[in-house]
């Protein structure tokens, strides 16, 4: 019997981008003068200890990896999406490529532009992003030009993984209940199940540090502290005032955060 005519539930569309939802990563590579470059990316997958990264051909990151084949891959948690967005339209290339003219500007220190802190790596030269709970050090093993010439695929071997102790379970495992990536889906940033903001839209000056949903699993360093606190039956108001809303570190005293220098919460 001939197959039934399918219901006409779909239409043919031509979306300009096909980012259905991959984690946002921050790639740190080394410039020729020894300074680090930081770039958001999301074309990423991992198999075993190998990573495959899709990189634009005209970016500083690819140029750096071709010359100095080491990088770090740091995974920002949802509260850090504004830091990602702050450097979304910046390039480390002093000579802005034609395709980016008018939209992108050059910035030599994207760690500073993002408000993020470089943290020395153990085995590779580029620094990690201190505020990220999950960080990989990797060596590039192969770079393959893409079909269209617009991108290349870098394959890199992870040589060391750093995980904040609060997202580690059973010795060597990342606890998915404690850890959340930012998911980049059709130019919007999401936590798992929760929209954060739109690419190119308004970016809050500061993250909302007062909102804690006690019924859901911890979604960030900030939530995690609140969650641990509730588990311990503590006084949230007392502890939460000590958590930096920008980077999630526990602050000491009443002054700026010792890690990221952000002002204390109001």
Number of residues counted as binding ligand FMN (CB under 6 A): 21
Return the SS3 of 266: coil
Q: Do 40 and 84 contact (CB within 8 A), yes or no?
A: yes
Return the DSSP state at 178: T
Q: Per-residue string for binding with ligand FMN, 162-191, x by CB under 6 A?
A: ----------------------x-------
- Vertex 154: Cα angle to 182 and 74 (nearest 5): 30
Candidates 7-15, 59-67, 227-235, 248-256 — which segment interacts with ligand FMN by CB under 6 A? 59-67
- Take residue 4 and report the two structure tokens written for it: 């039934």
**Interface with ligand FMN (CB under 6 A), residue from 68, 86, 104, 113:** 104
Question: Based on CB atoms, which residue is closest to ligand FMN, 146 or 234?
Answer: 146
Q: Does 54 bind ligand FMN (CB under 6 A)?
A: yes
Residues 6+ apart with CB under 8 A from 70: 29, 30, 124, 125, 126, 137, 138, 139, 140
What does the alpha-carbon distance between residue 218 and residue 222 come to, in Å, rounded to a whole number? 8
- Tokens 């909102």, residue located: 211
Q: Does 37 bind ligand FMN (CB under 6 A)?
A: yes
Q: Looking at residues 236 to 265 of the shown chain, list those that interact with ligand FMN (rule: CB under 6 A).
A: none
Q: Does 43 bind ligand FMN (CB under 6 A)?
A: yes
Q: Does 40 bind ligand FMN (CB under 6 A)?
A: yes
**Interface with ligand FMN (CB under 6 A), residue from 26, 30, 41, 224:** 41
Minimum Å gap between C-beta 59 and ligand FMN is 3
Residue 130 burial by CB count (10 A; 0-12/13-18/19+): exposed, middle or buried? middle
Q: Does 91 bind ligand FMN (CB under 6 A)?
A: yes
Minimum Å gap between C-beta 126 and ligand FMN is 12
Residues that bind ligand FMN (CB under 6 A): 24, 37, 39-43, 54-56, 59-61, 84, 88, 90-93, 104, 184
């Amino acid at each position: 019997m001939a197959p039934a005519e399918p219901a006409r539930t779909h239409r043919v569309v031509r979306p300009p981008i096909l980012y259905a939802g991959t984690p946002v990563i921050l790639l740190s590579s080394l410039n020729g003068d020894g300074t680090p470059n930081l770039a958001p990316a999301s074309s990423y997958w991992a198999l075993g200890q190998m990573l495959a990264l899709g990189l634009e051909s005209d970016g500083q990151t690819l140029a750096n990896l071709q010359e100095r084949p080491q990088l770090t891959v740091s995974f920002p948690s949802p509260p850090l999406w504004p830091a990602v967005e702050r450097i979304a339209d910046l390039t480390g290339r002093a000579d802005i490529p034609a395709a980016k003219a008018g939209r992108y500007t050059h910035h030599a220190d994207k760690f500073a532009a993002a408000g993020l802190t470089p943290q020395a790596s153990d085995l590779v030269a580029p620094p990690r992003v201190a505020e990220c709970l999950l960080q990989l050090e990797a060596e590039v093993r192969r770079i393959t030009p893409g079909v269209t010439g617009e991108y290349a695929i870098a394959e890199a071997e992870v040589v060391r993984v750093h995980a904040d102790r609060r997202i580690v379970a059973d010795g060597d495992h990342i606890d998915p209940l404690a850890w959340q990536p930012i998911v980049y889906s059709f130019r919007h940033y999401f936590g798992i199940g929760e929209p954060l903001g739109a690419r190119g839209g308004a970016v809050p000056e500061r993250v909302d540090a007062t909102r804690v949903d006690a019924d859901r699993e911890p979604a960030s360093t900030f939530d995690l502290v609140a969650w641990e606190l509730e588990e311990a039956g503590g006084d949230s108001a007392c502890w939460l005032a000590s958590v930096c809303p920008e980077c999630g570190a526990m602050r000491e005293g009443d002054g700026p955060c010792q890690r990221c220098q952000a002002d204390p919460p109001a």
